[in-house]
Structure 1
Amino acid sequence: MAKEHHEDEKREEMRQLEASLQDERDQVENTDRTSKEWSYANTEPVDVEAASELAEPVRRDNIPDRKKEGVSDGRTMGIIALVLSLISFFLLPFLFGSVGIILGVFAAARGSRIGWWALALSVIAIAASMVITPIMRY
């Protein structure tokens, strides 16, 4: 008698577990599936994205960190480009002007206004040499 009673308790417990599992399945089907990620292993909804655990956090304000590391903001490169562009007015304008343009673009990409000035002066020096050199030969 005790054995049958124990088996009945186990059956009742199994029915309750199956009912609660079915309720959870029904609840999952009724919820918005677009807001949840699905795992491939057991096709149960997963609320946590795995990439967030594996990836390094994105730092939005990394400019102060760059200055601590000694990375310039392009000002030094812009000054070098400006000096080369000024030299290009007097000596080898195609060589120094081209290097001034390249360094000016890199400096401007890092946020330096001096890079833009160097770029403009290099272009002016190259254009002026293209106009003045043929005139000077005659």
Structure 2
Amino acid sequence: MADLDPKDVEKNQFQKEQNDGQIYGVDNFGTKDYREETAAEIAAPAPIRLNQGTNEKNETRAEGGTGIGLAAIALSILSLFVFPVLFGAAGIVLGFIARARGAKTGTWAITIGAISLILGMFILPFF
């Protein structure tokens, strides 16, 4: 075995390193120091629905705001006749609360209260 040519030993060593790299997942360049950065591509995450019964929640939310919305409309209509600044402002505030809770009557209360407030502050003092 001492008769081996150094070139043959070097060639066999290179083939062994190359084969080891292919078998064990090491790079194909013959050295183990070479590192290549790789990254996995992912898609945008899909939205997760935490509450499947959102319709039921919205219905109860609208029911909770309906009473406040009706009270806001009552205050706004009352403000057309008595204390427009006080009742109109209260109707507007309750209208915003009713809208936040999902009642559509809050928008009407805000509108009527704003009209009453404008009439009471700018037009009625001249009569």
TM-score per shorter chain, which class? 0.5 to 0.7
Alignment of 1:39-118 (within 5 A): 43-48=37-42, 57-58=48-49, 63-67=54-58, 70-72=60-62, 74-118=65-109
- C-alpha separation in 1, matches of 2:37 and 2:90: 58
In structure 2, the partner of 1:25 is none
Does the C-alpha gap of structure 1 residues 121 and 61 become closer, same or farther in structure 2, counting only changes over 3 Å? farther
- Amino acid in structure 2 at the alignment position of 1:132: L
Partner of 2:120 in structure 1?
Answer: 129
Structure 1 residues 61 and 94 mapped into 2: Cα distance closer, same or farther (>3 Å)? farther
Structure 1 stretches of 4+ with a deviation exceeding 4 A read 7-10, 58-62
Overall identity of the aligned pairs, in % = 27
AA at the equivalent of 1:11? E
| Contact 2:62–2:103 (CA under 8 A) maintained in structure 1 | no
Of structures 1 and 2, the one scoring higher in RCO (CA 8 A, sep 6+) is: 2
Task: Please state how far the C-alpha of 1:91 moved relative to its aligned partner.
Answer: 2.9
Cα distance in 2 for residues equivalent to 1:96 and 1:114: 17
Q: Structure 1 residues 101, 61: closer, same or farther in 2, change over 3 A?
A: farther
* Distance in 2 separating the partners of 1:71 and 1:43: 52
Determine the C-alpha separation between the residues in 2 that align with 1:120 and 1:86.
Answer: 10
How many residues are treated as equivalent by the alignment?
106
Counterpart-to-counterpart distance in 1, 2:96 and 2:84? 17
* Structure number with bigger Rg: 2
Amino acid at match of 1:94: V
Separation (CA, whole Å) in 2 of partners of 1:64 and 1:84? 30
| TM-score (norm: length of structure 1) | 0.51
